[in-house]
């Protein structure tokens, strides 16, 4: 695949066939100009990815999923960001690597895949061997996963919805559960489970799949179905990150029940099922009002206040 893929774009399951070289007419709302919002050290990922020196994140603007509750809505829906050429992107990522990051973490990469692939090729040719990480919504074309896997070492897909109606309501495609499952099967087939598995972060991950699931307020049933589905498909050894960090989007009115944070009894219900099903490798989160890793991309120097704390530790 080359940059021509932007001309009749089918980079994601929306299959818009938009000519992104001429206009921003696709669902993701991005043209063929690569746009990034933040490139920098990040300490807000799971310890397997953050380690002691941080993950090297590249946050792309726009998104093919566009869930209305997105925690990164300023960039995924609001398109905050700046256009970078391939050459500029390469220079900035080289600078990031000089900070000795544990990995390169491409956040929401699918709709800019031709740029990312070119970047990865250039970095590998220069001898860069840091693990490359595909950090996506889970809403990926399964027939594209092989191509991603040729360059990526780690997949960090969300599995957001097991309920088609909820998917339809949140991101406008009721096919999400089936699409995400097919893509995940392919990711696991090609890369296996995340390894090494070390929740202290002393040994950071080198390859494999870690599945993230954000529990949504008022939608515990969806989370229970997600866990059952993952268990049925992949067994109890699949690495999971069950997240409680949902925050109503700042400054935007949200419909119930998305107007509030998650309740502890909701999160507990999900964790209880994870234990009953016997999942062996699970990251969980403290349920707090802490928002240090809720980004504000208006702070282009660093959207995450929590990063500053970690850098000075
Ligand atoms: S990447 Fe964007 S333009 Fe291309 S198919 Fe997906 S939503 Fe449509």
Domain ranges of the chain: 3-312
Residues 6+ apart with CB under 8 A from 281: 193, 194, 197, 237, 238, 239, 240
- Global pTM reads 0.94
**Ligand 1: distance of its center to the CA of 291 in Å?**
31
Residue 80 CA to chain centroid, in angstroms? 17
Quick check: CB of 15 below 6 Å from ligand 1? yes
- The residue nearest atom 3 of ligand 1, judged by CA position, is 26
Which long-range contacts (C-beta less than 8 Å, at least 24 apart) are formed by 190-198? Answer: 190/145, 190/146, 190/149, 191/149, 191/152, 191/153, 191/154, 191/155, 193/237, 193/238, 193/239, 193/281, 194/48, 194/154, 194/239, 194/281, 197/48, 197/239, 197/281, 198/47, 198/48
- The residue nearest atom 1 of ligand 1, judged by CA position, is 111
Q: For the chain, 313 residues long, give each residue's pLDDT as a single digit of tens.
A: 579 999 999 999 999 999 999 987 799 999 999 999 999 999 999 999 999 999 999 999 999 999 999 988 888 888 889 999 999 999 999 999 999 999 999 999 999 999 999 999 999 999 999 999 999 999 999 999 999 999 999 999 999 999 999 999 999 999 999 999 999 999 999 999 999 999 999 999 999 999 999 999 999 999 999 999 999 999 999 999 999 999 887 666 678 899 999 999 999 999 999 999 999 999 999 887 666 667 777 777 787 777 765 655 5
Measure the CA–CA gap between 311 and 92, rounded to whole angstroms: 19
pLDDT for the residue 290? 63
**Ligand 1: distance of its center to the CA of 62 in Å?**
10
**Ligand 1: distance of its center to the CA of 31 in Å?**
10
pLDDT for the residue 298? 77
Task: For residue 243, give the 3-state DSSP assignment.
Answer: strand
Given this structure, which CATH class describes domain 3-312? alpha beta
| Atom number, ligand 1, closest to the C-alpha of residue 10 | 5
């Amino acid at each position: 695949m080359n940059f021509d893929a932007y001309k009749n774009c089918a980079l994601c399951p929306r299959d818009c066939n938009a000519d992104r070289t001429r206009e921003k007419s696709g669902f993701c709302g991005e043209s063929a100009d690569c746009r990034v919002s933040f490139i920098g050290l990040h300490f807000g990922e799971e310890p397997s990815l953050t380690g002691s020196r941080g993950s090297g994140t590249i946050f792309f603007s726009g998104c093919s999923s566009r869930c209305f509750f997105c925690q990164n809505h300023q960039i995924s829906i609001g398109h905050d960001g700046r256009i970078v050429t391939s050459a500029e992107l390469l220079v900035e990522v080289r600078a990031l690597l000089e900070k000795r990051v544990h990995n390169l973490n491409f956040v929401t990469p699918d709709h800019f895949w031709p740029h990312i692939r070119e970047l990865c090729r250039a970095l590998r040719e220069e001898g860069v061997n840091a693990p490359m990480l595909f950090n996506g919504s889970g809403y990926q074309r399964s027939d594209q996963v092989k191509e991603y896997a040729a360059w990526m070492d780690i997949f960090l897909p969300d599995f957001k919805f097991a309920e088609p109606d909820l998917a339809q309501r949140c991101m406008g495609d009721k096919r999400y559960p089936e699409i995400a499952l097919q893509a995940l099967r392919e990711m696991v087939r090609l890369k296996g489970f995340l390894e090494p598995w070390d929740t202290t972060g002393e040994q950071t991950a080198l390859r494999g799949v870690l599945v993230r699931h954000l529990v949504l307020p008022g939608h515990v049933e969806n989370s229970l179905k997600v866990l059952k589905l993952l268990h049925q498909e992949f067994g109890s050894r699949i690495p999971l990150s069950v997240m409680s960090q949902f925050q109503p989007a700042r400054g935007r009115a949200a419909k119930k029940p998305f107007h509030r944070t998650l309740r502890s009894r909701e999160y507990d219900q999900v964790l209880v099922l994870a234990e009953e099903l016997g999942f062996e490798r699970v990251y969980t989160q403290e349920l707090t009002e802490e928002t240090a890793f809720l980004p504000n991309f208006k702070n282009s120097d660093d959207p995450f206040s929590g990063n500053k704390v970690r850098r000075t530790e």
